[in-house]
Chains A and B, each alone.
Chain A
Amino acid sequence: MALALHTFATVKDANAALKAAGTRYLGGGTLVIRAANEGDVSVSGLIRSIDPALSAIAIAGGKVSIGASVTMAAIARHPELGILAKAARAVGGPAVRNMATVGGNLFAPAPYGDFAVALLALDAMVGTDDGELPIETFLAGRDGSRAIVTSVSFTPPKADGFRFLKVSRVKPKGVSVLSIAAVLGQAADGTVSSARIALGCMADRPMRAKTAEKALLGRSLTKDGIAPALAAAGEGTSPITDPIATAWYRNEVLPVHLGRLLLS
């Protein structure tokens, strides 16, 4: 069947259309159109919604809500989303960032999905017409997920509380060897009071480094202070092997890069 695009004003109608066989939601096109170009004939109906809410960024009451159709470029240049700029700029080159959306990034398989790693560290909620889900729950079930993601929302940490690192072979733009996002709270004495660390490429989708997080609590961000966390960084990981790197290599350098990020 020939490919056809169906555009809907509301997410509700688009969700209804997605119930038909052979349909897929069209976000920025970087995943879906590519698949079609490459001969994936399983999709014949492309569904999209042009609901303006999908493209909105709302910052109010200490909470950030980003519409699923907001592009990486829009986030990178938003004056109040400075802490996310680095993660948004980690995606693709300039043209890809003008197209790639927040919603799409949540579905991007490793080694893609660096922005979703940042969202995982931020403990974002993922919104659909059915309500909101914690991002961890969403990512775990994303393969079977059919409902259109409408937004992500999170409480932004203090500017110095968010750290992001993407390691790639090719500069300035290359896909990830791995990416790390960390949201750290620090007590007055500098010791870590809270930690959320998310990893990209260390599994088939973004994952938390929970043992490392625990090992950081109460520790200072010094070489010795973070040593237990680095030692535990690889716990629970099952990194991908792809043309960029093997699982072995990713596991080997994860503590190195995590250490550099924490000490930066």
Chain B
Amino acid sequence: MAKVPVQFTLNGSEKAEFIDSGTTLLNALRDKIGDTSPKGGCHQGTCGACSVIIDGELRLSCLTLAETCDGAAITTTLGLAEGGVMHPLQRAFLDTFATQCGFCTPGMIMAAKVLLDHTPNPSRDEVIEALSGNICRCTGYEPIIQAVLRAARANSQNAA
């Protein structure tokens, strides 16, 4: 099977791998690199659990071929905490009890991070829109919406 080289940064560190052509980014991250924070909930693009940030944009790693990410900067939930300190979103998810089974959580946090990166003070409707590609079966969404709004408030307080 043809192996192709792929090189990108993952959470700020350089990665270079030989992968099978046609490998999805999700499988490359999980099986080759060992970052299992993106989850394979559907492999169809319908659940959002595999969401990652590629060059600042939210993407579904299950529908993205790894080799199309050559040279890209990729962020996953595993890379959010810095120096052992949680990102405000992670903190907010804890504080609002926004996780139950936790399987959708990394994807939700990715979607929320892209929102807050571009829209630091989102409205409730903007939060809802930002999370609309991510399925949660446990929480009924409300605690997750509250977590994102809480993280936004924490951010704006820090900035003030």
A and B touch in their complex, CB below 8 angstroms: yes
Footprint of B on A, CB under 8 Å?
2-5, 26, 28-30, 33-34, 36-38, 46, 48, 73, 92-96, 98-99, 172-173
Which residues of the partner chain A approach B152 to less than 8 Å between Cβ atoms?
none
Known: A4-B21, A38-B43. A93 touches B63 (CB 8 A): no
Footprint of A on B, CB under 8 Å?
1-2, 4, 20-22, 24, 43-45, 48, 51, 57-60, 62-65, 67-68, 111, 114-115, 128-130, 132-134
| Number of interchain pairs (Cβ within 8 Å) | 85
Which residues of the partner chain A approach B65 to less than 8 Å between Cβ atoms?
5, 26, 29, 33, 46
CA distance A30 to B62 in the complex (A): 9
In the complex, which residue of chain B has the Cβ closest to the Cβ of A98? B57
23 pairs across A/B with beta carbons < 8 Å?
A2-B2, A2-B21, A3-B21, A3-B22, A5-B4, A26-B65, A30-B45, A37-B44, A37-B62, A38-B44, A46-B22, A46-B65, A93-B134, A94-B111, A94-B115, A94-B129, A95-B45, A95-B51, A95-B58, A98-B57, A99-B60, A172-B132, A173-B133
Which residues of the partner chain B approach A29 to less than 8 Å between Cβ atoms?
63-65
Question: Does B129 lie within 8 Å of A172, measured CB to CB?
Answer: yes
Which residues of the partner chain B approach A26 to less than 8 Å between Cβ atoms?
65
> Beyond the given A4-B2, A33-B65, A98-B57, could you list 7 further A-B residue pairs with CB under 8 A, ordered by the A residue number?
A28-B63, A37-B44, A94-B115, A95-B60, A95-B111, A96-B45, A98-B58
Choice from A73, A96, A172 contacting B60 with Cβ under 8 Å: A96
